Structure 1
Amino acid sequence: MVLRSHPLVSGSTRPPALWRWTRTIVFVLCLPALLAACSRPGVDPMYPPVAAHVPGATSHTILIATTRKRSADPGAMFGGERGAGLDFAQAVVSVPPAHVSGSIEWPSQRPGNPGTDFVTKESTYLDSEKAFVAALNQQLEQRPPGHRTVLLFVHGFNTMFPEGLYRLAQVAQDAGSPAVPVYFSWASRGELSGYVYDLNSATIARDQLERLIMLIAKSKADTFNVLAHSMGNWVTVEAFRNIAMTKELHGYNHKLGIVALASPDIDVDVFRSQMARIGRPRKPFAIILSRDDRALALSRFIAGDKARLGDYKNAADLTQYNAIVIDLSDVKGENALNHDKFAEIASVAPQLRQVLAQGVRTDGTTPLEQTANAPLGATSGVVRTVLSLPVAAVTAPIVILSNATQ
């Protein structure tokens, strides 16, 4: 019996048509079950606003810049359709006293209960770019000089407006971040079937994100950090590509802090071409990836089995672009898709910021103690550091890959 003649064990690397179709059917049938395990709001948590204050609850004032069209329901603020240009707003989100790190406690009915749920206390439109900058500077001036920092968050695919807003509040809360939170929301319909619509919306939004980045750079901020998730990384890296081409950030580069690309839904070859235009960043980009990201497995499937940056198997290769790779593959995710690990470990952000700010030294050590470190090949110059953090939120070591020349 010659097994080699069977198409599944032949020397060909291309799976036969029957196997490809079987894999497609299994993937499509299993996906709803995976998505069912991921929480999202059952009601619109933006409306009605909840003014009541509960002892122990924490409020976060979030500035908003969006390419979404305003909703016909004033309480909802913005829907999933594309607007004309950039619109601005502000919202105050309350986090409940018993909040569990890494989670968003969605209200199950209107109005939400500030004692147990994330709720919106107030929301207002800002009528101009000038009003947005004034509101941003007002918040920055409430911080002491030297500590006037902005955290800019860009959401990903299949995200409704309040989902990204509450995710930013959750990350800010869990990280204990004193930064002014700014939410850039592009026009996603929040539908799994809307992948192409979302991708086109993200592409349309890149010039407006570039504009927002420059507004922040020219504000009274001492530093601004950027956190992008999933498809939001396409918008973000494209915006920085535009900025590199126009040299707009010249004179403000010293203000740019950490650019964290979490679960990036970008074709690896596209990322290489983007970085060829951007050049060597003044500070390394931080690429947060996980090889068990099932959402990116779907994206990879749609893209003709082309590798995505956020689940790239040869992560060490990415360090040649002056990137620090934070590999969360060994960290257990809280939902079946493993696509939101960046938010689930937000409580360790101060320790990770320390590592990213001070770097990984050529001997593999970091500002924090690690369990092991080793070079990945004598000629590659890539150092692998296994970082163990004494916090319950991290169930396994975090692997950090960096280039010894950084």
Structure 2
Amino acid sequence: MTPSEALRRTFAVVLVAMVAASCSTRPGPGSLKTSDAPEHGAQNHTILIATTRERASEPATYFNGERANRTNYAVATVSVPPSHKPGKIEWPAVPPGDPAKDFTLRSAGYLEGRQAFKAALEGELAKRKPADREAFVFVHGYNTRFSEALYRFTQVAHDSRARVVPILFTWASRGSVTDYVYDMNSAQIARDALEQTLRDIAATGVKRINILAHSMGAYLLAETFRQISISNNPIPADRFGFVALAAPDIDIDLFKQQLKRTGKPKKPFLILVSKDDKALKASSLLAGGKQRVGRYENTEELAALGAIVIDLTQISGENAVNHDKFAQIARIAPEIGETLLRARLGENAGAPSATGGKLGDIVGRGTNLVLTVPKTILSAPVQVLSGQ
């Protein structure tokens, strides 16, 4: 077998695994029906939305996977059932679902333009205490439908117990494994819209902007940050809180070049990696064998580039692709943050959990940190830093 034949065979195997994972029941057009049934202890989350997706003509869909010629805006409220299991989305078998056991759309509607979006954000900020007036922006990855992005972000926001205002930036992914190139081009097209959205958020009374970008969304965010940094009007660094790149689908050489052009961030990026990520393995094969940042084996080098690396390799994924592990650790995000802060300050970071283990092994100090999250941590109680 020639090297090229071996490469094609490996890519085929990985693609089959990705298709198998994506062929489980997925929400299609018409899945976003609203429910006014009693909530039965469910918790509501209001999500502001900015998108380069086209408005959908189908009812109960809102946005499709095609590219709009302008940025669209919306707001949605999604309830999470009291029986929710961290890291999971309890999809309704039949929309709109039962709020007692399913994620359920309670309300949704379009916002007409940037000013309406900013006014809605100001309204959400005003509902919170001054200390909680922060934004949490989520940028999804490749092969993601609008409903999937909305419900996934709701799950992450809920599990992380964040009191900040959640904002979904959703670009025109078609939600199909075979549309990788279309999705990549859509992500590139969305750079200006994401930049404008971040500027609009910064122009409100928001205290800080926190960002989580997944997979190809991390590529979009890194490109947008580069674009902002070389503009004549960069956004001040102190307007940002944490910036996390989860399983970033970025060529490692391109990432190095991006950082070289923008300089080391004043606040290091959080990069969530997993060396068994099959989606990024397929992406690497498509890119001529170049490693992707989210699967990069030299985590210490990533840390030296100005990142804090959280290695999730030991955690088992929800499916065979291992590309969405970030969603499983949302509930321990505050504990991870506290552990990393103490490590950067040179304090003891080996915080014991209630099971007697550690939150993770840390290599390095200061900004050059690598935290390896053990597979046992997800079975531990949420209060992994209790007793400290």
Q: Is the 8 Å Cα contact of residues 55 and 68 (structure 2) preserved in structure 1?
A: yes
Residue 165 (structure 2) pairs with residue 180 (structure 1) = yes
Q: TM-score, normalised by structure 1?
A: 0.86
Residue 26 (structure 2) pairs with residue 73 (structure 1) = no
Show CA shifts across 1:121-150 (max 9, x none). 111000010000000010011111122111
| Aligned pairs (5 A) from 1:136-215 | 136-215=121-200
Q: 1:393 to 1:68 in 2, by over 3 A?
A: farther
| Aligned pairs (5 A) from 1:325-364 | 325-362=309-346
1:192 alignment partner, SS class: coil
Gaps of 5+ in 2: 353-357, 382-388
Code of the aligned partner of 1:111: P
User: How far apart in 2 are the matches of 1:392 and 1:190?
Assistant: 29
Shift of 1:216: 1.2
The equivalent residue for 2:355 is none
The equivalent residue for 1:60 is 45
The equivalent residue for 1:321 is 305
Code of the aligned partner of 1:366: A
User: How far apart in 2 are the matches of 1:275 and 1:24?
Assistant: 32
Q: 1:72 to 1:375 in 2, by over 3 A?
A: closer
Q: Is the 8 Å Cα contact of residues 43 and 107 (structure 1) preserved in structure 2?
A: no
User: How far apart in 1 are the matches of 2:296 and 2:111?
Assistant: 40
The equivalent residue for 1:298 is 282
Residue 33 (structure 2) pairs with residue 48 (structure 1) = yes
Q: Is the 8 Å Cα contact of residues 46 and 120 (structure 1) preserved in structure 2?
A: no
Code of the aligned partner of 2:64: G
**Pairwise CA RMSD of aligned residues?**
2.6
2:334 alignment partner, SS class: helix
The equivalent residue for 1:132 is 117
Q: 1:223 to 1:384 in 2, by over 3 A?
A: closer
The equivalent residue for 1:106 is 91
Q: 1:232 to 1:40 in 2, by over 3 A?
A: farther
Q: 1:366 aligns with which of 333, 344, 349?
A: 349
Residue 256 (structure 2) pairs with residue 256 (structure 1) = no
2:267 alignment partner, SS class: coil
Q: Is the 8 Å Cα contact of residues 42 and 108 (structure 1) preserved in structure 2?
A: no
Shift of 1:219: 1.2
Q: Is the 8 Å Cα contact of residues 265 and 309 (structure 1) preserved in structure 2?
A: yes
Q: TM-score, normalised by structure 2?
A: 0.89
Q: 1:110 to 1:146 in 2, by over 3 A?
A: closer
Code of the aligned partner of 1:341: K
User: How far apart in 1 are the matches of 2:261 and 2:111?
Assistant: 35
User: How far apart in 1 are the matches of 2:346 and 2:4?
Assistant: 45
2:64 alignment partner, SS class: strand
Shift of 1:154: 0.1
Q: 1:222 to 1:40 in 2, by over 3 A?
A: farther
Shift of 1:322: 1.5
User: How far apart in 2 are the matches of 1:302 and 1:394?
Assistant: 38
Q: Is the 8 Å Cα contact of residues 64 and 183 (structure 1) preserved in structure 2?
A: yes
Number of aligned positions between the proteins: 376
2:74 alignment partner, SS class: strand
User: How far apart in 2 are the matches of 1:32 and 1:387?
Assistant: 28
The equivalent residue for 1:4 is none
Code of the aligned partner of 1:85: R
Q: Is the 8 Å Cα contact of residues 35 and 336 (structure 1) preserved in structure 2?
A: no
1:183 alignment partner, SS class: strand
User: How far apart in 1 are the matches of 2:303 and 2:247?
Assistant: 16
User: How far apart in 2 are the matches of 1:389 and 1:194?
Assistant: 33
Determine what percentage of the aligned residue pairs are the same residue. 42
